[in-house]
């Protein structure tokens, strides 16, 4: 056979499909758990209590970690106060808690700015166990200088996501 003939035979052999090899199959398991929607109920509204001012600005803080209220020396805080208390319900799992960085209380005078406070800060993770857990929110309330007397109220938003 000539070199050209050998090259043609070699090219033809390369074009043939390779012999099939024996294959094995393995079975793997997959699963998913569908979680309940996270719900929350307000058990107790946030209440900074009553405050008297000397006409200068000041800060009231409701600390959810310690359950205490503190007032700047320029303010006189009287009467009771309350942290916001929320009951989270859903599947037993970790839940990340986030919230807007500020909210406002409005009333007869200039709006009063507040910053929510949550143990661990924004992005903190709490665990729902037994289908529910209760969390407390506090806030820093920034009373304006010359704040007009009256009742001020507002809302803050909480975002909950399984984590």
pLDDT exceeds 70 at position 70 = yes
**pTM given for the model:** 0.79
* Domain assignment present for 25: no
Tell me the C-alpha to C-alpha distance, in Å, between residue 37 and each of 42, 55, 83, 124, 134: 17, 47, 25, 19, 16
Q: Please write the tens of the pLDDT for every residue from 78-133.
A: 999 999 999 999 999 999 999 999 999 999 999 999 999 999 999 999 999 999 99
Residue 87 domain flag: yes
How distant, in Å, are the alpha carbons of 71, 110, 112, 143 from that of 148?
18, 7, 10, 10
Mean pLDDT confidence for 141-159: 96
17, pLDDT greater than 70: no
Domain that holds residue 101: 35-146+157-162
| Residue 13 belongs to a domain | no
- Extended beta strands in the chain, E state: 39-44, 50-53, 58-63, 68-71, 75-78, 84-89, 93-99, 103-105, 112-117, 124-128, 132-143, 158-162
At 37, list the tokens.
């929607």
Categorize the per-residue pLDDT at 22 as very low, low, confident or very high, splitting at 50, 70 and 90. Answer: confident
pLDDT of residue 98: 96
Give residue 153's pLDDT band: very low, low, confident or very high (50, 70, 90).
very high
Q: How far is CA 149 from the centre of its chain?
A: 34
Number of structural domains, the chain? Answer: 1
pLDDT surpasses 60 at 5: no
Rounded distance between C-alpha atoms, residue 146 and residue 163, angstroms: 44
pLDDT for 62 equals: 98
Which CATH number characterizes residue 70's domain?
2.60.40
């Amino acid at each position: 056979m000539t070199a050209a003939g050998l090259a043609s035979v070699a090219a033809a052999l390369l074009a043939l499909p390779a012999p099939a090899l024996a294959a094995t199959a393995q079975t793997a398991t997959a699963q998913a758990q569908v979680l309940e929607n996270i719900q929350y109920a307000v058990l107790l509204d946030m209440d900074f209590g009553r405050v008297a001012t000397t006409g200068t600005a000041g800060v009231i803080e409701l600390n959810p970690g310690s359950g205490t209220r503190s007032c700047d020396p320029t303010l006189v805080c009287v009467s009771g106060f309350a942290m916001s208390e929320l009951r989270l319900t859903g599947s037993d799992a970790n839940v990340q808690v986030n919230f807007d960085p500020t909210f406002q209380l409005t009333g007869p005078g200039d709006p009063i700015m507040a910053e929510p406070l949550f143990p661990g800060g924004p992005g903190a993770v709490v665990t729902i166990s037994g289908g529910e857990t209760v969390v407390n929110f506090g806030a820093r309330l920034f009373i304006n200088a010359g704040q007009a007397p009256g009742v001020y109220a507002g809302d803050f938003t909480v975002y909950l996501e399984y984590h």
